[in-house]
Amino acid sequence: MKQTDKHWERYGRIDPYYGVLTQVKFKKQNLDSQRLQEFFDTGEVFIGSLFEQIRQQLEPSFYPSLAIDFGCGVGRLVIPMARRCKMVHGIDVSASMLAEARTNASSHQVNNVAFFASDDSLSKIGKDYDFINSYFVLQHIPLKRGMQIFEELLSRLARNGVFSLQVPYYTHRTPLRSAISKLRRYVPLANSAANLVEGNPPAYPHMEMNIYPLNILCRFIQAQGVKRLSVNFESDPQYFSATLMGQKA
């Protein structure tokens, strides 16, 4: 298991909901039934808005049959996708996240879902997906691996299939902060020391962040026969991100 994968498996074991949405109220010690409901409500709102955007910008008759959510975590987006699709596959590198996602799908009475372990070649899943989604995931994967996964996802798109893939492409982080992040990623004692400063347990996993080159991603997209691309921009104090949406011709 690669280092990044180990970090996400640790998140899946000790703090899965915060690993998906990094807000303090979703840390394990702060979760109650009301906040869990709020957590899943964010997924319902997001997917409802995303499907509406796709229908307005790409395909008015968008009602996918087979869909995938890459980096599904605990099922925040899989569950509302399943209410709009015939079948949804959730894929994640963390076995603990997948176990939690199965429990959540069952508790939400969602039966048209299946979950699979992820690897860089996506060997556990097939092809011909009508909808491929990934949100707040690829930035946590080292660039070389993430680029391969991005290309693998696109290659599994069915004819007339739609994708929505989100990536950060620019950061305000200073070189010093980036260097500290790299130290935390590869030097356990550095991460432990930073965790103590932040008030976390010493072994709390570090959340890796990476930015992606949009020009190369667009080349991958065009190579799959996508003629029209819709781009929605987002930003926060540290990162500029783009959600790339397109339809395979």
Q: Are residues 73 and 181 in the same domain?
A: no
The chain-wide mean pLDDT, for the chain, equals 92
The distance in angstroms from the start CA to the end CA of the chain is 37
Q: Are residues 71 and 186 in the same domain?
A: no
Chain segment 23-51, per-residue pLDDT in tens = 999 999 999 999 999 999 999 999 999 99
Chain segment 161-205, per-residue pLDDT in tens = 999 999 999 988 766 666 666 676 667 777 677 767 788 887 777
Average pLDDT in the 103-111 region? 97
Tell which phi-psi region holds residue 122, choosing left (phi > 0), alpha (psi between -120 and 50) or beta: left
H/E stretch holding 239: strand 239-248
Instruction: Output the pTM of the full model.
Output: 0.91
Chain segment 116-173, per-residue pLDDT in tens = 999 999 999 999 999 999 999 999 999 999 999 999 999 999 999 999 999 999 988 7
pLDDT of residue 1: 52
Spatial distance between the Cα atoms of 51 and 153, rounded to a whole number of angstroms: 19
Q: Are residues 18 and 87 in the same domain?
A: yes
Q: Are residues 179 and 79 in the same domain?
A: no
User: Is a pLDDT exceeding 90 seen at residue 209?
Assistant: no
Burial (CB count within 10 angstroms: exposed 0-12, middle 13-18, buried 19+), residue 224: middle
Q: Are residues 18 and 71 in the same domain?
A: yes
Q: Are residues 20 and 8 in the same domain?
A: yes
Q: Are residues 42 and 66 in the same domain?
A: yes
Tell which phi-psi region holds residue 159, choosing left (phi > 0), alpha (psi between -120 and 50) or beta: beta
- Structure tokens given for 218: 């667009």
When divided into structural domains, the chain yields a total of: 2
- Structure tokens given for 125: 């899943």
Burial (CB count within 10 angstroms: exposed 0-12, middle 13-18, buried 19+), residue 151: middle
Query: Which residues are CB-neighbours of 14 under 8 A, at least 6 positions away?
Result: 28, 204, 205
- Domain hosting residue 187, numbered range: 174-208
Q: Are residues 114 and 76 in the same domain?
A: yes
Q: Are residues 49 and 9 in the same domain?
A: yes
Q: Are residues 140 and 238 in the same domain?
A: yes
CB 101 within 8 A of CB 92: yes
Exposure string for 67-93, b = 16+ CB within 10 A, e = fewer: bbbbbbbbbbbbbbbbebbebbbbbbb
Q: Are residues 141 and 34 in the same domain?
A: yes
CATH number at residue 112: 3.40.50.150
- For residue 219, count other CB atoms closer than 10 A to its CB: 11
- For residue 232, count other CB atoms closer than 10 A to its CB: 14
Q: Are residues 75 and 46 in the same domain?
A: yes
Average pLDDT in the 44-62 region? 96
